[in-house]
A and B are shown apart, each in its own frame.
Chain A
């Protein structure tokens, strides 16, 4: 049932693979020249391989952005949202030990948005709780009751809690499909922090109805609501750079698009027939339940001949992001384990070649960190062995010095050029006005690059540790996300990252002892590791009053965001007045799994 990919996607893939391959070949060429003076040894060949691999994946990211910048993104005209959709849609909100009031206030805001359009009768909401903490479960019951009262949503708003969260989020959705799937034509799958405009949901349904081959439609959620410096930088990146990267990705992926696990709509019968996930043989982290289920579900839909599409032009889709590096790293640990587990599926029967490549890409996004670290260690070793102890020394031949700087400069350009091209396009199109004007955007981009330079070595070390933890069989589990807590005190940051400080210090001492001339090259990596507690605590401080990192939704929130803010503040005001008493969970309302 496999369908041929569109010519534009095939061309984009050839361009991206060819471009990244050419960049990797160029990097190898420069490295050969750089390392020529003292002759090539085993370490040089190992470094050459690492340079090729790392450059290919950095080049892949840059190619995606360039494609997004210059290629014509398919902007589908929005259909008339008032056109009565024939299908019935369930809006699924899986929750897991979340703070219920913010979650249910989003449901109320989305419902209000649908009511205003006169479309509420075509959409049901199902809050699917996997909450394990009994006090949180009790609060969920109270706040769901509050939601029903506020929305008059009886009969089309549902809540159920599983006592055993088998299969985690994928299992939670699967439980809904098995129990209630036949009642719906479509399901909009959300996260606890997702928020969608009613018009966006209506358009998602209309696009599904317009294309009977479409099995899944993914929107590009924009991050909103960030308060801390770290959160606002992530929010700025997702809002400002995100659409360009997403356009490139949409072009590359074609009809074998991505599923990011939320803010997407699925065709119920296609999803049910294609996405029943088996438990992999063996124990976690290599086996067991599939952790990063979304990539696998997208591949399974494509395997069964369904189109999976990313539509970057669909606005009105939002989510919230991590507010500090500790929460970011916690989520990243889960993604790392999930992506590395995909190595088991690389050769799974029937998958399209592109989906296998996407799995490989996900794996490499984590293996990239230990590869970079290996490159740095090998370079230090090489420098310590050299009779002229220097990583890139002026004592080497001019051509090799030039090649070394070109390699370093080229890597920096690959990482930053797409960002400045996006700024340039924003200046030419006037897009930058939505972010406070071109000067503020340039200042924000420069500040983001500076902060990223501090955070990148920390994440390199954290990801390397995560990769080794997974390889040695340590299961990271499924820690709940703490969305409302942003501030990390210095003491907390120290507890979380003292191992990084020790590792960075030891690394620096070794460099000083074995290759002191390489100190200047080791400092940008070891320095941020040693300063990690300060970086984490400092970047978790509130940043709302800053003129930098401004986004469109901060300047002018969309109707659903404003509605949600109003609902939450009125609820919290009421609950504070009433000193809300949280009763125990009544029997019969829980444990329906």
Chain B
């Protein structure tokens, strides 16, 4: 892995974590149907509470 990160050594910056972001995408753990049902339930709950 190439390291193009500067590790600061001076002053208060020494406490900071290295600024070297890495993406961490959210994984899918629930089947889409469940999400669909949850959304549907939420829709009807919202509609019901408004009425």
A residues near B, CB below 8 A? 87-88, 124, 126, 144, 148, 154-156, 158-160, 174, 176-185, 268-269, 272-278, 280-282, 290, 296, 300, 344-345, 347-349, 588-589, 592
| B5 surroundings in chain A (CB, below 8 A) | 182-183
Residues A281 and B17 in contact, CB atoms below 8 Å apart: no
Tell me the dominant secondary structure on chain B's binding face.
loop
Residues B24 and A174 in contact, CB atoms below 8 Å apart: yes
Min CB distance B19 to A, Å, is 7
| A275 surroundings in chain B (CB, below 8 A) | 24, 27
Min CB distance A417 to B, Å, is 39
Min CB distance B40 to A, Å, is 12
Q: Interface 1/0s, chain B 17-29, versus A by CB < 8 A? A: 1111111111111
Min CB distance B29 to A, Å, is 5
Residue of B14, B19, B28, B38 touching A281 (CB-CB under 8 A): B38
| A348 surroundings in chain B (CB, below 8 A) | 28-31
In the complex formed, the residue of A with least CB distance to B9 is A155
Min CB distance A88 to B, Å, is 7
Residues B22 and A272 in contact, CB atoms below 8 Å apart: yes
Q: State which residues 1-51 of B face A: CB under 8 Å.
A: 1, 3, 5, 7-9, 12, 14-31, 34-35, 38
Min CB distance B22 to A, Å, is 3
Residues B9 and A154 in contact, CB atoms below 8 Å apart: yes
B residues near A, CB below 8 A? 1, 3, 5, 7-9, 12, 14-31, 34-35, 38
| B24 surroundings in chain A (CB, below 8 A) | 174, 177-178, 181, 272-273, 275-276
CA distance in complex: A441, B21 (Å) = 51
Known A87-B1, A177-B24, A276-B25; contact A160-B30, beta-carbon cutoff 8 A? no
Residues B26 and A159 in contact, CB atoms below 8 Å apart: no
Known A278-B28, A344-B30; contact A181-B1, beta-carbon cutoff 8 A? no
Known A155-B14, A159-B15, A344-B30; contact A183-B25, beta-carbon cutoff 8 A? no
Residues A181 and B38 in contact, CB atoms below 8 Å apart: no
CA distance in complex: A558, B5 (Å) = 36
CA distance in complex: A451, B7 (Å) = 52
| B25 surroundings in chain A (CB, below 8 A) | 273, 276
CA distance in complex: A349, B9 (Å) = 45
Residues B22 and A269 in contact, CB atoms below 8 Å apart: yes
Residues A158 and B17 in contact, CB atoms below 8 Å apart: yes
Residue of A144, A177, A277 touching B22 (CB-CB under 8 A): A177
CA distance in complex: A345, B34 (Å) = 12
A-B pairs with lowest CB-CB distance, top 4: A181-B22, A183-B20, A182-B20, A155-B9
CA distance in complex: A275, B24 (Å) = 7
Residues B28 and A349 in contact, CB atoms below 8 Å apart: yes
CA distance in complex: A552, B51 (Å) = 69
Task: Please name 11 pairs of A and B residues whose Cβ atoms are closer than 8 Å in the assembled complex, sorted by A.
Answer: A158-B17, A160-B16, A182-B22, A272-B24, A273-B24, A277-B26, A278-B29, A280-B30, A344-B30, A348-B29, A588-B12
Known A158-B17, A180-B21; further 16 A-B contacts with Cβ < 8 A: A154-B9, A154-B14, A174-B24, A176-B17, A178-B21, A178-B23, A179-B17, A181-B24, A273-B23, A275-B27, A276-B24, A277-B29, A278-B27, A281-B34, A345-B29, A349-B29
Residues B22 and A88 in contact, CB atoms below 8 Å apart: no
CA distance in complex: A589, B19 (Å) = 16
Min CB distance A269 to B, Å, is 7
| B38 surroundings in chain A (CB, below 8 A) | 281-282
In the complex formed, the residue of A with least CB distance to B2 is A182
Residues B3 and A281 in contact, CB atoms below 8 Å apart: no
| A276 surroundings in chain B (CB, below 8 A) | 24-27
| B18 surroundings in chain A (CB, below 8 A) | 124, 158, 179-180, 183
CA distance in complex: A88, B25 (Å) = 23
Residues B17 and A160 in contact, CB atoms below 8 Å apart: yes
Residues B19 and A179 in contact, CB atoms below 8 Å apart: yes
In the complex formed, the residue of B with least CB distance to A290 is B29
| A281 surroundings in chain B (CB, below 8 A) | 30, 34-35, 38
| B35 surroundings in chain A (CB, below 8 A) | 281
| A274 surroundings in chain B (CB, below 8 A) | 27
Min CB distance B6 to A, Å, is 10
| A178 surroundings in chain B (CB, below 8 A) | 21-24
Known A126-B17, A281-B34; contact A296-B29, beta-carbon cutoff 8 A? yes
